Amino acid sequence: MSIWHVTGGRPLRGRIRVQGSKNAVLPVIAASLLCPNETELTNCPHLSDVDAAVDILRYLGCQARQEDVLSIDTRSPSRCDIPKELMHRMRSSVIFLGPMLARFGEAEVSVPGGCELGKRPIDLHLYALRQLGAEITEQENAISCRATGLRGAEISLALPSVGATENAMIAACAAEGSTVIYNAAREPEIETLQEYLRTLGAEIHGAGSPVIRVTGFSPRSAAGLRVPPDRIAAATYLCCAVCAGGEIRLTDAEPRHLTPVLEALHKMGCAVSAGPGEIHIAAHGRPHAPGAVVTRPYPGFPTDASPLLMAANLRTAGTVMFIENIFESRFRHACEMQKLGADIILRPPMALLSGVETLHGARMFSPDLRGGAALVAAALGAEGESIIADLGHIARGYDGMDRCLRELGAEVWMENLLPDEPV
Ligand code: EPZ
């Protein structure tokens, strides 16, 4: 258990470099299984989700080591199953299914299960792999896949699922013939995966559009990639600056990945400017309500940034309607924010926020990765000290968030309690 101590009332000043993207690097780590190769990933963030993905590779018999660079060697895997304890450590572990099927012709994994955000079904992943010729049996707790040979297919996703698109792209690289993925997810992380698969020798086009075509694969023995900036981490620090007030600059950021978030911050009255690889924000005085915040698949407003923008609006002048279209349990942080004095009416998938003049420090519990980060952000704008108990959620997706906030002048420190220590 980590305990975050946050004392509000101090404006943020300065600049920080945005970490590498969690959601870009995880599918790339899985895709490194596709063929025997040595992969080097630079700018890879130090996160517990990355540790979990690396541990899966090691369990499969591969070599992997993260120092400044994440070095992976997938030339000699020795097994093709992933046990429950590894599958459940990281929500998106299902992304290993396609690469294992493509490399080994078989895969045995435990059902990944739901998470704090909701059921997190994988029916679209299994549909895509079956289209490519996989025979998949689903038992209560395990999924068994076999494929004597994957063959190219047309895959029409009922929803633009990020993970299902990624599994389909990776498996299709090893399929005989051509594959077309319709209604593909368009997130920037899909483009990063395409870039990596090309370094492995894949013929793949269309990432970032709704139609992705994969025509074949001639394995190369060495691959590499620089992990792009994490757009949700960037949104997080921008919203922290709004909560605390002040002026910060983000370097190694990618403004074009954050258009809906930057538009909302601009509507709130923040001075937001973006240059090549940089985003600058100045937030002084009380923000204005930005209008409704409706989450949608990319390029719509990202669901992962919704908790952060809610934190940034707790003291806004006016009301903000949040509508969540992606995950059924996205608003768990709202009840915790009410402990600070926030005025939020919850009617999922809607939440109606009315800005208040002041917030006061409180003891809160982090409900999930982005909700936990949003509570830290909200506490920066509250009077006095807040305490946030976190069961490791924040470390899954943020590389040194406490250190980054201290570099910007925030009064934030963490303590790690032993499992049986009282909060
Ligand atoms: C990815 O999750 C991200 N995770 C999530 O970020 C992000 O919130 C999400 O995409 C949406 O952008 C990673 O990339 C590791 P989906 P993913 O499949 O792939 C439904 C974070 O905080 N669905 O696009 O699991 C699903 O229930 C995390 O960094 C099915 O119905 O998301 C959801 O309603 C949280 N069947 C919707 O699609 C399926 O087979 C979008 O899910 C798969 C998904």
Query: Is the whole model's pTM more than 0.95, yes or no?
Result: yes
What is the pairing mode between strands 319-323 and 293-294? parallel
Q: Kindly tell me if the per-residue pLDDT of 419 is higher than 80.
A: no
Residue 312: pLDDT band (50, 70, 90) is very high
Residue 224: per-residue pLDDT? 93
Hey, what's the torsion of the CAs at 102, 107, 110, 113, to 10 degrees?
Answer: 20
Q: Kindly tell me if the per-residue pLDDT of 174 is higher than 90.
A: yes
Averaged pLDDT, 257-274: 98
Q: Is 184 in the pocket of ligand 1 (CB under 6 A)?
A: no
Closest CA to 219 of 67, 367, 34: 34
Whose CA is closest to atom 30 on ligand 1? Answer: 121
Rounded to the nearest angstrom, the distance between the alpha carbon of 304 and the centre of ligand 1 is: 10
Mean pLDDT of the chain: 96
Per the domain annotation, does 423 fall within a domain?
no
DSSP track, 25-74 = HHHHHHHGGGSS-EEEEES----HHHHHHHHHHHHTT-EEEESSSEEEE-
CATH code for position 346: 3.65.10.10
Residue type, 225: L
Share of the chain above pLDDT 70, in %: 99
Q: Is 303 in the pocket of ligand 1 (CB under 6 A)?
A: yes
Task: Check whether residue 350 and residue 249 sit in a common domain.
Answer: yes
- Length reported for the chain: 423
Task: Check whether residue 163 and residue 250 sit in a common domain.
Answer: no
Q: Is 29 in the pocket of ligand 1 (CB under 6 A)?
A: no
- How many domains would you assign to the chain? 2
Residue 36 domain boundaries: 22-226
Task: Check whether residue 208 and residue 309 sit in a common domain.
Answer: no
Q: Kindly tell me if the per-residue pLDDT of 423 is higher than 70.
A: no
Please state the φ and ψ torsions of residue 179, each to the nearest 5 degrees. -125, 140
Q: Which residues pair with 13 in a beta bridge?
A: 247
Q: Ligand 1 atom closest to Cα of 127?
A: 40
Residue where a domain terminates, one of 193, 210, 226: 226
178: Cβ–Cβ under 8 A, 6 or more apart, which residues? 152, 213, 214, 215, 216
Residue 129: per-residue pLDDT? 98
Rounded to the nearest angstrom, the distance between the alpha carbon of 256 and the centre of ligand 1 is: 21
Residue 358: per-residue pLDDT? 98
Active site residues: 115
Residue 115: per-residue pLDDT? 83
Residue where a domain terminates, one of 174, 207, 226: 226
Cis status of the peptide bond prior to 11, with omega within 30 of 0: no
Whose CA is closest to atom 22 on ligand 1? Answer: 304
Per the domain annotation, does 201 fall within a domain?
yes
Task: Check whether residue 240 and residue 167 sit in a common domain.
Answer: no
Q: Ligand 1 atom closest to Cα of 117?
A: 35
Residue 173 DSSP one-character state: H
Rounded to the nearest angstrom, the distance between the alpha carbon of 327 and the centre of ligand 1 is: 8
Averaged pLDDT, 191-209: 97
Averaged pLDDT, 205-232: 94
Cis status of the peptide bond prior to 121, with omega within 30 of 0: no
Task: Check whether residue 58 and residue 174 sit in a common domain.
Answer: yes
Contact yes or no for 172/179 (Cβ under 8 A): yes
Averaged pLDDT, 392-396: 96
Per the domain annotation, does 421 fall within a domain?
no
Task: Check whether residue 188 and residue 299 sit in a common domain.
Answer: no
Q: Ligand 1 atom closest to Cα of 26?
A: 15
Per the domain annotation, does 422 fall within a domain?
no
Rounded to the nearest angstrom, the distance between the alpha carbon of 161 and the centre of ligand 1 is: 6
Q: Is 308 in the pocket of ligand 1 (CB under 6 A)?
A: no
Q: Kindly tell me if the per-residue pLDDT of 128 is higher than 70.
A: yes
Residue where a domain terminates, one of 226, 247, 276: 226
330-382 pLDDT, tens digit per residue, is 999 999 999 999 999 999 999 999 999 999 999 999 999 999 999 999 999 99
Contact yes or no for 293/301 (Cβ under 8 A): yes
Residue 22: per-residue pLDDT? 98
Q: Is 2 in the pocket of ligand 1 (CB under 6 A)?
A: no
When computed from its CA atoms, the radius of gyration of the chain, rounded to whole angstroms, is 21
Contact yes or no for 41/73 (Cβ under 8 A): no
Contact yes or no for 237/279 (Cβ under 8 A): no
Q: Ligand 1 atom closest to Cα of 297?
A: 12
Q: Is 3 in the pocket of ligand 1 (CB under 6 A)?
A: no
Rounded to the nearest angstrom, the distance between the alpha carbon of 302 and the centre of ligand 1 is: 11
Contact yes or no for 52/78 (Cβ under 8 A): no
Task: Check whether residue 113 and residue 248 sit in a common domain.
Answer: no
Q: Kindly tell me if the per-residue pLDDT of 253 is higher than 80.
A: yes
Q: Hey, which of 162, 190, 193, 236 would you mutate to test ligand 1's pocket, going by the most ligand atoms within 8 Å of its Cβ?
A: 162
Per the domain annotation, does 71 fall within a domain?
yes
Per the domain annotation, does 246 fall within a domain?
yes
Averaged pLDDT, 292-307: 98
Averaged pLDDT, 273-277: 96
Q: Kindly tell me if the per-residue pLDDT of 102 is higher than 70.
A: yes
Q: Ligand 1 atom closest to Cα of 23?
A: 14
Per the domain annotation, does 131 fall within a domain?
yes
Closest CA to 182 of 202, 204, 209, 163: 209
Task: Check whether residue 159 and residue 236 sit in a common domain.
Answer: no
Residue 420: per-residue pLDDT? 67
Task: Check whether residue 81 and residue 111 sit in a common domain.
Answer: yes
Averaged pLDDT, 65-86: 96
Residue 91: per-residue pLDDT? 81
Q: Kindly tell me if the per-residue pLDDT of 116 is higher than 90.
A: no
Residue 227: per-residue pLDDT? 98
Contact yes or no for 1/387 (Cβ under 8 A): no
Residue 422: per-residue pLDDT? 66
Task: Check whether residue 337 and residue 238 sit in a common domain.
Answer: yes
Contact yes or no for 160/297 (Cβ under 8 A): yes
Task: Check whether residue 119 and residue 34 sit in a common domain.
Answer: yes
Whose CA is closest to atom 19 on ligand 1? Answer: 163
Residue 206 DSSP one-character state: -
Query: In whole angstroms, what is the distance from residue 85 CA to residue 263 CA?
Result: 41
Residue 421: per-residue pLDDT? 65
Rounded to the nearest angstrom, the distance between the alpha carbon of 162 and the centre of ligand 1 is: 6
Q: Kindly tell me if the per-residue pLDDT of 327 is higher than 90.
A: yes
Task: Check whether residue 214 and residue 284 sit in a common domain.
Answer: no
